[in-house]
Every structure is written in C-alpha cells, then in structure tokens.
Chains A and B, each alone.
Chain A
Amino acid sequence: MALNWYRFSSPATFYPLAGRLVPLFGWGAAVLAAVGLWLGFVVAPTDFQQGEVYRIIFIHVPSAWMSMFLYVVMAFWGALLLGFNTRLSGMMAQAIAPTGALMTFIALWSGALWGRPTWGTYWAWDARMTSELILLFLYFGIIALRQAIGDPRRADRACAVLALVGVVNIPIIYFSVKWWNTLHQGASVKLTGSSMETTMLAGMLVMSFAFWFYAIAVVLARVRTIVLERERGAAWVAELPEARSA
C-alpha cells in the first residue's frame, strides 16, 4: 500500500484530520489522568523517607519528561522544515513551543515545591536545575524570535535554526545528575529497571501518558488555529462550515 505522506503535509488535508484527533486525545488525557491520580493518591503507599510529599512526583517527572521530549519533537519538525521545506513542519514547531514552555514551567514549579520540604530549599544552582531553567529560556527565546520576525516563513526558518542549536541542552539536562555532583538525585527509571515500588511507578507512567495525550491534544488544536491564521483567504478555508459567515 503506497501511502502518500505528502498528502498529510498539506494543511487542507491535515486540518480536518487534526480536528477529529483533538477530542480523542483530550478525553484520553482526562481518563488517563483520573486513573493516574487514583493510582498515585489512593493505591500508591507513603514513601519511607519523604512521607506524602513525594506524591508531587506524579506531575513533576511527567512534566519534566515532556518538557525535554517536546523540545526534541519541535527541533525535529524544524529539521524537516529546513531539509524538505514542508509548510506544515513550521506550523507544528510553532504550535509546540508554548506547550513545551508550559511543561518546563510545571516541572520547575513542582520541583521547587518538592525541594523545599525534602532538601530544605526551593532552588539551588545545581546542573540539573540550571539546565532545565535554560530550557525554559530557550522556549521563551524561540517564541520571542517568531514574534520579532513578522513573516511566518522566515520566522519558521529562524526558529528552526535556534531550536536545533538548543538541542545540545537536552542531553545536558538528562545526564547532568550523572556527569556532575548535583543536589538533584539520579534517575529512578532507567532502561535497566527502576528503583520505585511498583504501584508508585505505575502511577507515574500512567500520568506520563496523560501528559503526553494532553500535549498532543493542545498542540494539534493550536496547529489548526495556526493553519487558519496562515491560510486565511485560501479557497478551502472559505468553504469550511465554521469559517462561513453567518
């Protein structure tokens, strides 16, 4: 079966497809979050050294994972744009940046509120936290760069270059706890296994999927808006039932 991938890179085809996927992922996120929170707050036991406060992990780790993952996806779309000049790639990258920044903010915020009762401080300039803060500024920088350049096609290219340069920060964030002495502890979940009790781990993984679904739903919804913004005046937009003047 020869699937024509280029067909999906056309905004006119992508727009209705994304429209069907948004509620699917949105409701999926809600259901997963409900299951994840039930696992995290009802099933999972109290931790032996931190007590209840460790339950912040169920949003802290998923949001931190998403903050890095979304950045890599954004840079990937940027690379596609620079390589193949596909119009949709730039819109995807543009749509991801705000959600990536939000995830980074949630990771930093929940981390601060977790650090105070456990370590004894909201913030420390260790390698893990500093590099995650730099990620937030990278997202801000990319959003600001787009606003500074009026023309969307030129903004796409400039943001793609900046996003690709910033990718070096991702392994630095991830391996910082391994490469340097940090206040932040090492990874609890590795390819070789995890150092968490099973129900705690299950809650965290389900919450990760919830964050994943949430991000997909919001990003797809935003891509649709960006398509409308950029293709305004195109014949197919004028034919959309929701865009027809009453």
Chain B
Amino acid sequence: MKPRHRRLAWIAAGLAVLGVAVALVLNAFQSNLVFFFSPTDVAEQKAPQGRTFRIGGLVEEKSVRRDGIVVHFNVTDTAKTIPVSYQGILPDLFKEGKGVVAQGKLGPDGVFVASEVLAKHDENYMPPEAAAAVSKAHIEAAEKNAAKTLVR
C-alpha cells in the first residue's frame, strides 16, 4: 500500500470510529439517560405509554410470590408501588428490600409484565457480620436511605 492509501485508510477508520461514538452519544441521550422510571414517575404518567420501558425501585418486603414458573413481586419507591409479573431466571442478588430494575410493558390492568429483571445493588461493601448488625439496628432507616438513592 502506498503511504497515501494507508493515510486514507486511517482517515476512513477514524471517521468510522467517530461515527460510532456519535451514534452512541445520540442513542444514549435519546433513550438511555433515563435508564429506568420510578413507580412515582409511572403514576405521574412520565413513563412512555404503550411501549417497552424499565422500572426501578426496591422489591417490596414480603411481596415476592411464586405462581408456578411466574414470579410476582411489587416494585416500590416507598411513595408508590407497582405490581410486577416475570417469567424467567432471577439474578442472584434479587432480594426483598433490595434494588431492582425490570424491563417490560405496563398492562392495562396496571401490572408490569417484565421480560428482563436485573438486580441493582448499592455501593456498600462489608462482611456479613457487620451487615447483620447494621441491618438489625437500622433496618427502617437503611431502607428509606436506599430508596432515596434509587429514586433521587
């Protein structure tokens, strides 16, 4: 290859990379800056109607119920709550009282039918003994705090 051809090839590669980067930015700004909507957003009709979106919040305590292969649970931001049904494998960190992000559609009956459920964990790292002590002492406070972090 002549130097001039090599240079043109690099310019083409650079433009392709730049194009991909711009496409990613636009894509991100269009739909993904809001990765998920909180139950309050949904109640206020801020979530897109009639198409797939994600909801995020905490899995409400004592709301997880298994009905054959379908799992039912409620997602809450402590202000509003949305019932969710899901058929599939739940991530290991899916737990009552912990963060969750579910992708799916809101049915006419108000039940969110999820096609994918992801666990959203918090930024706390500690050994189990410490976690047990903390949760015993401030179970209520911690929940409210986590909800605030999630909803913001």
Contacts and interface: CB of A to CB of B under 8 A. Distances in A.
B82 interface: no
Interface in A100-142: 117-121, 124-127, 130-131, 133-134, 137-138, 140-141
A181 B17 contact: no
Contacts of A48: 126-128, 130-132
Contact of B93 (A46, A118, A131): A118
Interface residues of A, number: 43
A86 interface: no
B123 interface: yes
A119 B21 contact: no
Report the interface size class on chain B: 35 or more
A141 B21 contact: yes
B7 interface: yes
A138 B90 CA distance: 35
Contacts of B95: 49
A202 interface: no
B14 A141 contact: yes
B93 A124 contact: no
B142 to A, nearest CB: 12
Contact of B27 (A125, A140, A196): A125
5 contacts: A49-B93, A49-B98, A50-B121, A120-B93, A186-B123
Given A147-B10, A181-B35, 10 more contacts: A117-B92, A118-B119, A119-B118, A127-B35, A134-B21, A134-B24, A144-B14, A148-B10, A181-B150, A185-B122
Interface of A: 45-50, 54, 57, 117-121, 124-127, 130-131, 133-134, 137-138, 140-141, 144-145, 147-150, 180-183, 185-188, 195-197, 200
